[in-house]
Structure 1
Amino acid sequence: MSATPETSRPSIFWPLAAIIVPAVGLFARIEVRGAENLPREGAYVLAPNHNSEFDPLVVAVAVWRLGRAPRFMAKESLFRVPVLGAALKATGMVPVPRASSGASQSMKAAEQIARDGRGVIVYAEGTLTRDPDLWPMRGKTGAVRLALAGDLPLIPMAQWGVQEILPRYGKLKFPRRSHVVVEFGPAMDLSSYAGTPPQPSALVAATDAMMNRVAAMLSGIRGLPAPAERWDPTKHGQNETGRLEP
């Protein structure tokens, strides 16, 4: 692991890493590409694709190996759950704002992240991809909104191979140690989308550009062309959980 100020200081991440890193290593041989694109210090927003319930562990290990503490956006309601809420707060996880107060809460979260010099991982799709071939689907604007609110670097990320360990909504395959590729892309230039506040159309356009970047990176990993358009659950009769609308 690369030594950085963030991981060289004792923290709750040390005992967690002592357990999670070797455990994940039993399932995955992680190849990290584009390591130079993840800032060694300072705040950032990392936006990976999501195709397996197991991939948050792989993403966390990859980020930790590069010397940063992995912190995710988590549902605001989870912070009110006894014990779990305390653990989320202790590890610096960031609550996902409610839709009704999204803009102001994003600004507050971004300001706190910037002050602390932390990074945060945001699954822009909001849930596991519904694309039949596991390409990134249409994203939500949370990652872009957070990056713009705090003028934080927005780093697209693509990962592939985790679905061989735990298929989407499938069963864990063990013993099996699969090759997993994790690629960090260069930070996106969001200057053309910035505003005070950013317009909804600009947030959507920036999010589409981000998801296209992730898809292009994934295309390079898979050696296959990505679809020209992102899968949109609302156009296929699905709700946010991926279930068919009644």
Structure 2
Amino acid sequence: MPAPERSNRAYRNIARVVRPILLAITDRDWRGTEHLRHDGGFIAAANHMTNVDPLTFAHFLYDNGIAPKILAKSSLFTVPVVGGLLRASGQIPVYRNTVEAGKSLAAAIDAIAAGECVAVFPEGTLTREPDLWPMAGKTGVARLALTTRAPVVPIAQWGPQDLLGRYSAVLKPFPRKKVTVVAGPPVDLSDLYDRPQDSAVLREATERVMAAITALLEDVRGEQAPAERFVWRRPPGEGR
């Protein structure tokens, strides 16, 4: 399979190691790839259930010709080896609750302007919803979308949680797990573009993205999500 045009050498080297592993331990059901953009920058926004999600998310995009720039928590960039790989492949650190928080948004804006796909988990952390439905999202995806006016492609994943439980550190690769990843049409935010980015507008844009992801996941699971979206607030001092 040819590597995505925008992947650099480090990205391709990582893929040479990670892709064969994912191919060996997953049966993939990928849908909606026609909604992915190849002629300009866009935002790919997915639900987040387990720490293996970024790999299955990136696998879906990479094998469909896109090398995403994933917004990842800044602490990962300090981990030996892992941090070096993230930096070399051009991933974007997220500085939460610090004076450097604006750097993440600026870097993502620049990436989209350069024609890249910026991949985000709008919830900002693993969902705390008891049945793994998407919870309320953070407004970062809205700020990025409304500032750049780039398409936001909602993506739902189901199955990665069988590889690695939500809070587990034990990977369960065998037997092979079915991983379903579905992309939907871009979320329409056009009526919000010229409005001030106040809290009401940001919440509205964020909820539209989360609703689109949830609708895709309902179809995958064959179930209906709770009528009221779960809201989680990080306790003081708690990590991801």
| TM-score using structure 2 length | 0.87
CA distance in 2, matches of 1:47, 1:240: 26
CA deviations on 1:49-89 (whole Å, 9 max, x unpaired) are 01112121111111111001132112345546676544333
Matched to 1:239, the amino acid is P
Compute the displacement of 1:128 (Å). Answer: 0.8
- 2:19 match: 21
8 Å Cα contact 1:4-1:40 kept in structure 2: no
The aligned length equals 238
Describe the SS at the equivalent of 2:69: coil
1:108 to 106, 109, 120: 106
- 1:129 match: 127
Tell me: CA distance 1:12–1:39, structure 2 relative to 1, closer, same or farther (3 Å).
same
Matched to 1:132, the amino acid is P
Tell me: CA distance 1:208–1:26, structure 2 relative to 1, closer, same or farther (3 Å).
same
Identical counterparts, % of pairs: 40
CA distance in 1, matches of 2:178, 2:6: 28
Matched to 1:232, the amino acid is V
Matched to 1:26, the amino acid is A
- 2:64 match: 66
- 1:57 match: 55
Tell me: CA distance 1:86–1:2, structure 2 relative to 1, closer, same or farther (3 Å).
closer
8 Å Cα contact 1:47-1:155 kept in structure 2: yes
- 1:232 match: 231
- 2:10 match: 12
CA deviations on 1:94-148 (whole Å, 9 max, x unpaired) are 2325546688546522431133211111111111111111100111011121122
- 2:199 match: 200
Segments of structure 1 that go 5 or more residues without pairing to the other structure are none
8 Å Cα contact 1:156-1:184 kept in structure 2: yes
Tell me: CA distance 1:162–1:151, structure 2 relative to 1, closer, same or farther (3 Å).
same
Compute the displacement of 1:5 (Å). Answer: 3.1
Describe the SS at the equivalent of 2:106: helix
CA distance in 2, matches of 1:222, 1:44: 26
- 1:209 match: 208
CA distance in 1, matches of 2:79, 2:55: 22
Matched to 2:25, the amino acid is F
8 Å Cα contact 2:195-2:201 kept in structure 1: no
CA distance in 2, matches of 1:15, 1:107: 27
Describe the SS at the equivalent of 1:145: helix
Tell whether 2:87 aligns with 1:94: no
Tell me: CA distance 1:144–1:102, structure 2 relative to 1, closer, same or farther (3 Å).
farther
8 Å Cα contact 2:139-2:203 kept in structure 1: yes
8 Å Cα contact 1:233-1:240 kept in structure 2: no
CA distance in 1, matches of 2:202, 2:62: 29
Matched to 1:203, the amino acid is L
2:140 to 142, 160, 163: 142
CA distance in 1, matches of 2:238, 2:156: 21
Tell me: CA distance 1:223–1:201, structure 2 relative to 1, closer, same or farther (3 Å).
same
Compute the displacement of 1:32 (Å). Answer: 0.9
8 Å Cα contact 2:93-2:104 kept in structure 1: no
Measured on the aligned residues, the alpha-carbon RMSD in Å equals 2.6
Segments of structure 2 that go 5 or more residues without pairing to the other structure are none
Tell me: CA distance 1:103–1:200, structure 2 relative to 1, closer, same or farther (3 Å).
farther
Matches within 5 A, 1:31-46: 31-46=29-44
